A and B are shown apart, each in its own frame.
Chain A
């Protein structure tokens, strides 16, 4: 743990060094780096703690600090389909593919994002749900993709996998903050990346990344790996179990 925080600190310092004439550095820690899925798993919560370190000589800023925490789950290909009317029927006609999109996305900030930075800056720095789900390098110029992207975000929000919390970051002191991250039970297993950005007066002062993972443990892990590594045995065992249950029920309920 101490080694990890040291490397994190080193990374933070390195990042800070890249930002010229900025006197702030960001130090962050997670309440846990591993969410274990057990048989009674119904989702979990972890907390991001952070500290803004100011160099002693610099004068206090006129603008207060703002923090935006973005959590991205493992990327997958997502396909959005649209139903259209064909004669009397409603049929899936058009579809758009969204490769490498995070299945889980959470954006937390201490106040609404539009109050923290301009729309242009948000797009450039991938802040906010619509900007954060884009792939880093590409901008979507594909014709007519807008409604599909809006639908993607709307549907993922309805499923609880995408969320924006505009009061999700709390300042405990002018420089110390915390942000709870809720991981729903339907969020996929894999590695999650957390990006924390410090703003003041609409300008990014420092950023910091860390990560955590969601993994299956115990029986859940052994069953899932059995299904994949020994599919025939797993299938036969399930079938045998099914027939056994069927037989058991007749013996238990037999009256005549």
Chain B
């Protein structure tokens, strides 16, 4: 805890961000990225869906926030991947299938993104997508987690997750593959389709997509939670490293100073998050992730449904920068 005392000395210290073109409190950014990194390591989600809105709230231009968070997510998922790799909780084969589908989905998503931007109202589409996606996924997970907890309390045995020879219909499609580490023997088709959808959503919303991938692998494919997180982080690592380079080349909005600050906070936070995940049982893991996703969805819903205090907003076209 000595480090906390030392850090408070820096609370007033500001550093100028050369690409975002404004100064920011070092302690504030380290604190935020540390907290988001912890969540990232705990749940195997990239954390971009939390960090990007937070940075925009701190007046960092949206393009810079999205691009720089990609670098931070790459770094913190690298930590997570190595941690899970050492614990043998990473299915490289499943991860590779997900990466392949993810790349295809990302390309489709970028094309869709650009065509929508030409039509206008991109902001609205993004907000509505956040609200529906987050409240639906979060709500479903919360419902399921509560039902499981009640069942547990009544002393009934938990539902058997999977019995030999019993599996959902989509796993039995052609091209079945054996994923030993995930204890999964399933068709590649639904897995690749899932990866394409996630890559698509990720590119449109500017997030890694871990918050969709993790529940999908848990619920649709019944992959063990420990393996889900490591494998999801692997997929995020590859796509976000690519996204960082792509953002730097196409719109020059990656702020390296901000990226370093976010990385320092993020990787340290992710370490502790990864540790905490080991001591967390499946029930509370699901409940917490559900609440987290649901609260982000509600936060966007408020923006959409409540009358704004200031109905006007001033924007600078990005091309003018």
Residues of A within 8 A of B (CB): 37-43, 76-85, 88-92, 103, 147-148, 151-152, 154-156, 185-186, 188-189, 216, 219-221, 223-224, 227-228, 231-232, 234-239, 241-243, 245-250, 253, 256
Contacts and interface: CB of A to CB of B under 8 A. Distances in A.
Interface residues on B, range: 35 or more
Interface stretch (B48-56, B154-162, B261-269): B261-269
B7 interface: no
B312 A80 contact: yes
Nearest to B319: A77
Nearest to A184: B22
A102 to B, nearest CB: 12
A238 B316 CA distance: 26
A250 B256 contact: no
A188 B18 CA distance: 11
Contacts of B320: 76-77
Contact of B311 (A43, A83, A88, A249): A83
Contacts of B83: 250
Given A40-B14, A243-B78, A246-B78, A232 B312 contact: no
Given A223-B257, A238-B248, A246-B82, 19 more contacts: A79-B317, A81-B312, A91-B121, A155-B313, A186-B59, A227-B252, A235-B245, A239-B241, A239-B244, A239-B245, A241-B75, A241-B263, A242-B259, A243-B75, A245-B263, A245-B264, A246-B79, A246-B267, A253-B268
Interface in B286-311: 303-308, 310-311
Contacts of B16: 37-42, 185, 220
21 contacts: A43-B23, A77-B316, A82-B311, A83-B313, A92-B121, A151-B312, A155-B312, A155-B314, A186-B59, A189-B21, A234-B252, A238-B256, A242-B71, A243-B241, A245-B78, A247-B78, A249-B267, A250-B79, A250-B86, A250-B271, A253-B268
Nearest to A188: B21
Nearest to B304: A89
